[in-house]
Amino acid sequence: MGVGRRMKKQGPPPPLDEATISLIKKRKAAEAGAKADGGKKRRKAVAESEPEPEPETQKVKTKGDKTKSNGVTVNGKNGKEQKSAVVATPKKTPTKAEKSKKSAKKVSEPEPASEDDDDDESWGSGSAPDLDELMQDEFGDLDDVSDTSGGSDVADGKFDEGSVFDSEEEDHPREKMFSDDEDESDAEEKLTAANIEGLSRKLDEQRQMEEEEARQEMQDSALQTNIAGERPDIFGDADTAAKAGIAPNMQLLRTRITDTLRVLGDLATLGQPGQSRADYMQLLLDDICTYYGYTPYLAEKLMSLFTPMEAFAFFEANEIPRPVVIRTNTLRTNRRTLAQALINRGVVLQPVGKWSKVGLQVFESAVPLGATPEYLAGHYILQAASSFLPVMALAPQENERVLDMASAPGGKTTYISALMRNTGIVVANDASKARTKGLIGNIHRLGCKNTIVCNYNAQEAFPKILGGFDRVLLDAPCTGTGVISKDPSVKTNKTERDFLAIPHLQRQLLLAAIDSTDHHSKTGGYIVYSTCSVTVEENEQVVQYVLRKRPNVKIVDTGLGSFGSEGFTSYMGKKFDEKMTLTRRYFPHRENVDGFFVCKLKKTGPSPGASKKNGVVADETGDTKSNKSASEAGDNDAEIIDKTPIMDENGNAIGEDAFGPFEEEEDAEIIARAERNRLRRKGINPKAVLEKARKDGNKAKKQDSTSDSASEKEPSIEEQGTEKKKGSKKEKKSTEAQEEKSAVDATAAAAAASSSPSSTKSKKTKKSKK
């Protein structure tokens, strides 16, 4: 299928380039200075009207020079040097800006392009336009704006034929509306070849210089803080401050954090006698909480994902806003036309990266991006770059049936619809009625005509009301630990309870997503699970859980290339499926995108339970009215749904312990046997007890015993599905799980109220059964 080829062709996108933003601003500043001195005329009236740059805007937004003063560079997992310091250290010498400006002047200047200039005839596949022509047609405006902004680095070769949707051409002959971007490929490639080397060399030099500065600063800082001797008396500082009872000096606190990191990097040499690594780690944790404003619980959780040094880079990155990105709506326009229109309005932008043909990164805008005529006409949507990724992984095909389970406000739904070119059906669901208003607004604005909006608790509704989808996207509700820069309240408002309740909901939603997918689909049978959170509980552990509960799915390659990091295969002593490496993680400090997790699953067989109960699997047919699904079998009750015995291909239960307690009705004999065994273990003759019970007609007592029996099975379930420690904690956890469930149920109640009478009825029935 085209999917595989298409996804393979995706080049790994580079991190979003915040350094370029700084570069453009610096160049603009340099040019503004030159202009004040009677320098050159600007060539475009539009560019003239651009506001003067504020070279330090980024820094102002990000706690001033905090990042810069540290200048830490962090090595990513792949050994790639990450540039958190570069991002936050937009220092450049005027000489550099001058140089860039000179280089920009070499690019031929086109006349301002009209809409007509955008005619794709000039990009016909047969005739290869010459370079000047290409630049004028395709990037002339971009270069022009950059030039008027003081640089030409916008055309950094990020347009590339290897973009993700390119190979769709093979599978789906293009209509005129969609041919625009594709036809640009040749031109883009030529432009890339011609410009990328020089431009990227300049950028590289720039970065090197900044990194060198950052390193130097760090060394200086180390020298200063270490002036009294080899081993900094970090604990002495902490004690003094604590005793004085004064508010912490943030600069000193920061210095202590960097000192502690340094000591942790070489404890043997730099550590104080009598102070262990744990002591330093605790001090670091406390300081990070104070400095960045996290609760100790969350700071510890996040720190556990990284080395101390990388954790620091992560916390730093959370203080910096991510680049603004817009996604071109190909149902209404193409990226080139959109870029030209926005440039004419004073927007400074460039393609987001070669991995996407629809993303534009915005550096500056003279107009509010949410109120331009192009925005109102639905030519684009403001959408974080990382938010493209789950949809790219989903790779929806034309004429498919696709479910977006938690879709509001619709950034991903509308992208799915566009990729399907308004064919097939996209069911866009969200449990929040209020949020569906925004969803509907976006769907209309962007001209999605293949989309149906519904407002259900997905756990309840799918596949019971609707199933049999070719592909399902679950962009799950999450704690938002990947988007702290957008919503700093996460630092303090996420409690331990949230980290139990939310993963619980995520698990149930993902099971429903799987059960709603048609494994017979000729084109699909895929599920994509994503979150904008970085915690393992919400990502790998959720996937691991569903792998156990649904052996009819397996993890497959997301097709997102090597961009991002592999998912964890172990965490805190827990081992995960080895294919977890196929899942992708994205981090603000590594890729300069919102923290994100993407996992793609392929459904290989029917979901458990449904066929056993009814002979027909609801999610295969989509006709769910007369068939019970696995979810229905469990009445959406997490514990019951998940404990439905799972059958292998031969109809045998797979490792009964692995799938929870027995179904009361269907496994009465097994339950009775377990009960007899339980009584024997207690030294009681089961026959006598049961006989007595029968005689007394005390059914309630018998049920209690059965229930005891079921709870004795819990340990094996707990071992698999819980993150908490064993022993007495299990009881507590079980209680908590009930509480969480109540909370989740309560949250879902509103949505459930609006769900079909059948679902409500089913729930009531089940509860009364309980």
Ligand X SMILES: C[S@@+](CC[C@H](N)C(=O)[O-])C[C@H]1O[C@@H](n2cnc3c(N)ncnc32)[C@H](O)[C@@H]1O
- Give the footprint of ligand X on this chain (CB under 6 A): 387, 405-412, 429-432, 435, 457-459, 475, 477, 509, 748
CB of 663 to ligand X, least distance (A): 24
CA 653/CA 26 separation, integer angstroms: 66
Tell me: is residue 408 an annotated ligand-binding position.
Answer: yes
Asked, as a colleague might, if the bond just before 588 is cis with ω within 30 of 0, I would say no
Tell me: is residue 449 an annotated ligand-binding position.
Answer: no
Q: Which residues are CB-neighbours of 682 under 8 A, at least 6 positions away?
A: none
Nearest to 472 by CA among 518, 432, 433, 435: 518
DSSP-derived secondary structure letter, 647: B
Nearer to ligand X, 311 or 512 (CB): 512
Question: Helices in 368-493 by DSSP H: which ranges?
Answer: 373-376, 388-394, 411-419, 433-445, 458-461, 490-493
CB of 429 to ligand X, least distance (A): 6
Tell me: is residue 412 an annotated ligand-binding position.
Answer: yes
Nearer to ligand X, 430 or 675 (CB): 430
Nearer to ligand X, 435 or 520 (CB): 435
Mapped onto helix, strand or coil, the DSSP state of residue 374 is helix
Nearer to ligand X, 302 or 638 (CB): 638
CB of 411 to ligand X, least distance (A): 4
Nearer to ligand X, 149 or 636 (CB): 636
* Assigned token pair, 649: 């291909």
Nearer to ligand X, 71 or 477 (CB): 477
CA 436/CA 134 separation, integer angstroms: 43
CB of 370 to ligand X, least distance (A): 15
CB of 161 to ligand X, least distance (A): 28
CA 598/CA 585 separation, integer angstroms: 7
Return the residue nearest ligand X (CB atom): 406
506: phi then psi, degrees, rounded to nearest 5: -60, -40
For residue 534, the number of C-alpha atoms closer than 13 Å in the C-beta half-sphere is 29
Tell me: is residue 406 an annotated ligand-binding position.
Answer: yes
Tell me: is residue 482 an annotated ligand-binding position.
Answer: no
CA dist list (Å): 675 to 412, 656, 709, 717: 50, 16, 6, 18
Active site residues: 532
CA 664/CA 221 separation, integer angstroms: 67
For residue 268, the number of C-alpha atoms closer than 13 Å in the C-beta half-sphere is 0
Tell me: is residue 430 an annotated ligand-binding position.
Answer: yes
Tell me: is residue 488 an annotated ligand-binding position.
Answer: no
CB of 574 to ligand X, least distance (A): 25
Count the residues in the chain: 770
CB of 2 to ligand X, least distance (A): 24
DSSP-derived secondary structure letter, 646: P
Tell me: is residue 411 an annotated ligand-binding position.
Answer: yes
* Assigned token pair, 416: 């799915």
Nearer to ligand X, 72 or 392 (CB): 392
CA 702/CA 675 separation, integer angstroms: 9
What one-character-per-residue DSSP string does 99-155 give?
HHHHHHHHSPPPPPPPGGGG-GGGG-SSS---HHHHIIIIIHHHHHHHHHTT--TT-
Give the annotated binding-site residues: 406-412, 430, 475
Give the annotated binding-site residues for S-adenosyl-L-methionine: 406-412, 430, 475
